[in-house]
């Protein structure tokens, strides 16, 4: 139980989605074919060789998940096994050695426990964001995988991703810049994808759109995903989300789809033609940071497509949002065994 922990003196309800310095991060080194034991450290920095392949060739993969304080005072991590498996897939694609699931989950538990005073109190709407990353650090100038690696897990308490809370935003479809390539690494959580998405993101921001929607990079005919979140659309009683080889399989999307199926919606994972955008009643951008960001307008080739109820999210996305966030806070039954309790 986390009840007796003296919490950090923070304005929990008004935290940004940013970095707040915490007490510890945890680090593992890979050398001579094996990972070291994890070491908790309070330094926010580490020395790295200037010829590290992560710096030159982007040999880096990462994850993002959250810990919550529940209504009964426990600290839980949401679906760490799913993130462990996704990181393994990303690492495999860019030749980073396997990080065993138990090492990943143990690292998350240890760093959350060491920073328990930064887990936002129940009821504040905030959470502890967990950011694991794996990088190639051995010196190398020619192209090739590094000889040495680091696996680091840092944490930071975060408030809602968008300050307005569960309020709809406008999205702009980006066709001039791609974030991923056909047969590339769009389905992996690797750093380069995000650098590749920055230009499209800025293009949207400059025109007043907080989020951008990318189309499939091969034919430019299908919905791919938003810059840092998956696309879901509600059409009558159907929950529809793209199947595409160039999008990141979102754990939030998987969780919402599971809940949707459980409450009787039909879950459809299929290519979504851009020409079919107008058929959706509701659209959401889904990911760990915001869970669901309702989208009320998508601007595609100069035409606005409208969803939801104007300035309010539609009823189905509102219901799904409440069901998942209540489960994360322990307010409803953990029906799918998604909560990993951290022993404090
Ligand atoms: C490109 C991209 N798509 C989707 C997501 C949502 O994934 P998740 O729900 O696992 O956070 C993220 C965030 O991790 C992302 O960066």
Query: Which protein residue's CA is at the shortest distance from atom 16 of ligand 1?
Result: 228
Domain ranges of the chain: 12-159, 169-328
Evaluate: CB of 244 within 6 angstroms of ligand 1.
Answer: no
Average pLDDT, rounded, for the chain? 95
Query: Which protein residue's CA is at the shortest distance from atom 2 of ligand 1?
Result: 228
Evaluate: CB of 252 within 6 angstroms of ligand 1.
Answer: yes
Rounded (5°) CA angle 282-288-290: 55
In eight-state DSSP terms, residue 216 is P
Question: Distance from CA of residue 175 to its chain's centroid?
Answer: 23
pLDDT band at 189 (very low <50, low <70, confident <90, very high): very high
What are the pLDDT digits (tens) for 78-116? 999 999 999 999 999 999 999 999 999 999 999 999 999
What are the pLDDT digits (tens) for 50-78? 999 999 999 999 999 999 999 999 999 99
Mutate to test the pocket of ligand 1, among 229, 254, 256 (most ligand atoms within 8 A of CB): 229
C-beta neighbour count of 332 within 10 angstroms: 14
C-beta neighbour count of 336 within 10 angstroms: 12
Residue 309 has pLDDT above 60, yes or no: yes
Mutate to test the pocket of ligand 1, among 184, 252, 259 (most ligand atoms within 8 A of CB): 252
Region 134-141: what's the mean pLDDT? Answer: 94
Region 232-247: what's the mean pLDDT? Answer: 97
Evaluate: CB of 248 within 6 angstroms of ligand 1.
Answer: yes
Residue 293 has pLDDT above 90, yes or no: yes
Region 281-309: what's the mean pLDDT? Answer: 96
The whole-number pLDDT of residue 162 equals 62
Tell me the sheet residues that pair with 324.
none
The whole-number pLDDT of residue 4 equals 76
Distance 286 CA to ligand 1 centre (A): 7
**How many contiguous H segments (helices) and E segments (strands) does the chain have?**
6, 18
- Inter-CA distances, 179 with 92, 190, 217, 248, Å: 20, 12, 8, 11
Count CA atoms within 13 Å of residue 64 on its CB side: 21
Evaluate if pTM is beyond 0.95. yes
Evaluate: CB of 228 within 6 angstroms of ligand 1.
Answer: yes
d(CA 160, CA 303): 30
Distance 188 CA to ligand 1 centre (A): 10
Region 205-216: what's the mean pLDDT? Answer: 96
The whole-number pLDDT of residue 331 equals 98
User: In terms of residues, how long is the chain?
Assistant: 344
Q: Which atom of ligand 1 is nearest to the CA of 63?
A: 14
Evaluate: CB of 230 within 6 angstroms of ligand 1.
Answer: yes
Name the fold adopted by 169-328.
D-amino Acid Aminotransferase; Chain A, domain 2 (3.20.10)
Region 119-138: what's the mean pLDDT? Answer: 96
Evaluate: CB of 271 within 6 angstroms of ligand 1.
Answer: no
Residue 3 has pLDDT above 60, yes or no: no
C-beta neighbour count of 142 within 10 angstroms: 8
Q: Which CATH architecture has domain 12-159?
A: 2-Layer Sandwich (3.30)
Region 223-249: what's the mean pLDDT? Answer: 97
pLDDT band at 18 (very low <50, low <70, confident <90, very high): confident
Distance 229 CA to ligand 1 centre (A): 5
Q: Give the ranges where the chain is alpha helix by DSSP (H).
A: 53-57, 80-93, 101-114, 191-206, 251-262, 315-328
């Amino acid at each position: 139980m986390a009840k007796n922990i003296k919490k950090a003196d923070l304005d929990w309800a008004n935290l940004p989605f940013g970095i707040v310095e915490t007490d510890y991060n945890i680090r593992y080194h890979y050398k001579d074919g094996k990972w070291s034991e994890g070491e908790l450290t309070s330094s926010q920095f580490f020395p790295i060789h200037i010829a590290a392949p992560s710096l030159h060739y982007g040999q880096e993969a990462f994850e993002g998940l959250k810990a919550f304080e529940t209504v009964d005072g426990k600290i839980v991590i949401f679906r760490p096994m799913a993130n462990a498996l996704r990181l393994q897939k990303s690492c495999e694609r860019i030749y980073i050695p396997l990080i065993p699931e138990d090492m990943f989950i143990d690292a998350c538990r240890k760093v959350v426990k060491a920073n328990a005073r930064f887990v936002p109190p129940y009821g504040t709407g905030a959470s502890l964001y967990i950011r694991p990353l794996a990088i190639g650090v051995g010196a190398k100038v020619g192209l090739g995988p590094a000889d040495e690696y680091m696996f680091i897990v840092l944490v930071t308490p975060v408030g809602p991703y968008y300050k307005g809370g569960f309020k709809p935003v406008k999205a702009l479809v980006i066709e001039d810049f791609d974030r991923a390539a056909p047969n590339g690494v769009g389905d992996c959580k690797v750093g380069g994808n995000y650098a590749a998405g920055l230009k499209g993101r800025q293009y949207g921001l400059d025109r007043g759109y907080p989020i951008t929607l990318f189309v499939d990079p091969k034919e430019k005919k299908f919905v791919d995903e938003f810059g840092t979140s998956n696309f879901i659309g509600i059409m009558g009683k159907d929950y529809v989300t793209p199947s595409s080889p160039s999008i990141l399989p979102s754990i939030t999307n998987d969780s919402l789809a599971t809940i949707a199926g459980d409450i009787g919606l039909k879950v459809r994972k299929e290519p979504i033609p851009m020409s079919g955008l107008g058929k959706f009643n509701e659209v959401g951008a889904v990911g760990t940071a915001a869970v669901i960001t309702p989208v009320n307008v998508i601007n595609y080739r100069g035409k606005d497509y409208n969803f939801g109820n104007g300035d309010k999210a539609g009823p189905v996305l509102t219901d799904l949002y409440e069901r998942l966030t209540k489960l994360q806070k322990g307010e409803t039954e953990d029906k799918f065994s998604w909560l990993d309790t951290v022993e404090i």
